[in-house]
Amino acid sequence: MSHSIAASNLTTVVSRDSLPTAIVKNMITVVLSISVIFINGTLIHTFRQHQVLSANPRYILYIHLVANDIVMLSMFALMMVLSYMFFTLNTSFCMLGTVVAILANLNDPLTLAIMALECYVAICFPLHHVQICTVNNTYVAIGLVWVISSLTILPDVFVVLATESLDFFHSRIFCVRDQIFRNPRLKEKRDISFIVLLVLVWLTLVYAYFNILFAAQGATSNARKARNTVLLHGFQLSLCMLTYTYNQISNGLIALFPQYVTDIRFITTILFQVLPRLLSPLIYGLRDKTFRKYVKSSLFCAGREAQELEPEVSNARVTGTPGQIRQADQIRQ
């Protein structure tokens, strides 16, 4: 069975994979997705169980990042398995799943940009960090992330609803973005919006982290730790920025090797969408000493270690001076 799709202004015939190939690809997809979802689910459970974590803006932003990864990987695994089972999917269902995945996908780099700004404020303006980076302001920032992501994709949805016939939404298609948003102008808008977001996020990254590096170099203590944290955050953001180049690289390779459409889409999706989300909790969450200790206590010690750590950090934040509060926050880093 084959199906024609358009990529980079070329019509490409997509042939269905053989049964062994389909089984291997589905096994890789399901195993990787479930592994990341389990790790991220453990982090969310740990976050919800301890007020010390849920009252910290840095951890709130991180858990928002983790939750988006769960949504994106769940949709990716679902669409991948269904595509290999039925090859073509209902257009309306495919459109809904694609929009949800795109929203979650776009949220990651924007959330990391806000995390960079939070880290910048914490290091460069420590006396004002408590007033600026409050829990309420953090949730406002998360809401702003969703607004920006929605403004990127929802206009495309409205155009499709206004221009496509009713039969189109009842038809079956090979479930990729270009098959849903077929208007060439929408593709141009997508590329332009991705470039604009790419530039904005990188400018935020460069501004925040160069200031952090300079502040870390001038510090008398923990300078090496601060520099390592900055480099890891930058590496994590660089991985998530692959989101913005996925479509261009995928379509470019398809134009060069049209006979390998399904293989190219599978490999680029694993490399650019899944693997960065596997590294994300390892780079930030499990590397964080406090978060790691709470995760261990949740999994193995039934809260024993958490009970020992909670009063120490909570009392410092509630009754301590600003300097003691900052010192308590540094325990988590």
Query: Which is more confident, 108 or 241?
Result: 108
Average of pLDDT values for 142-152?
93
35: nearest Cα among 70, 59, 62: 70
Q: Please give the average per-residue pLDDT across 135-144, as a whole number.
A: 94
User: Which tens digits make up the pLDDT trace of 45-94?
Assistant: 888 888 888 888 988 998 998 899 899 888 888 888 888 788 788 999 99
Rounded to 10 degrees, the C-alpha dihedral 303/306/308/311 comes to: -130
Q: Give me the pLDDT at residue 147, please.
A: 94
According to the model, what pLDDT value does residue 67 have?
92
Confidence band, pLDDT 50/70/90 cuts, at residue 158:
very high
pLDDT: is 220 or 295 the higher one?
Answer: 295
The answer, yes or no, to whether residue 134 has pLDDT greater than 60, is: yes
- Do the beta carbons of residue 237 and residue 212 sit within 8 Å? no
pLDDT value, residue 216: 65
- When pLDDT is averaged across residues 175-201 and rounded to a whole number, the result is 85
Q: Which residue has the higher pLDDT, 281 or 224?
A: 281
At 324, is the pLDDT very low, low, confident or very high (cuts 50, 70, 90)?
very low
pLDDT bin (cut points 50, 70, 90) of residue 137 is very high
What confidence category does residue 142 fall into, taking pLDDT thresholds of 50, 70 and 90? very high
Q: What's the pLDDT band for 244 if we cut at 50, 70, 90? A: low
pLDDT over 80 at 180, yes or no:
yes
pLDDT over 70, % of the chain = 75
**């039969």: which residue's tokens?**
167
CA 324 to chain centre: 33
181 close to 160: Cβ distance less than 8 angstroms: yes
The dihedral sign for the CA sequence 232, 225, 126, 209: negative
Q: Is a pLDDT exceeding 70 seen at residue 163?
A: yes
Average pLDDT value for the chain? 77
Three-class SS of 116-185: HHHHHHHHHCCCCHHHHCCHHHHHHHHHHHHHHHHHHHHHHHHHHHHHCCHHHHHCEECCCHHHHCCCHH
Rounded to whole angstroms, the Cα distance separating 90 from 171 reads 6
Structure confidence at residue 33 (pLDDT): 86
High-pLDDT (> 90) share of the chain, %: 14
Residue the block writes with tokens 């929009």 = 99
Residue where the block lists tokens 């199906």: 3
List alpha helices for 164-288, DSSP H. 166-170, 177-180, 184-218, 223-240, 246-256, 261-269, 275-280
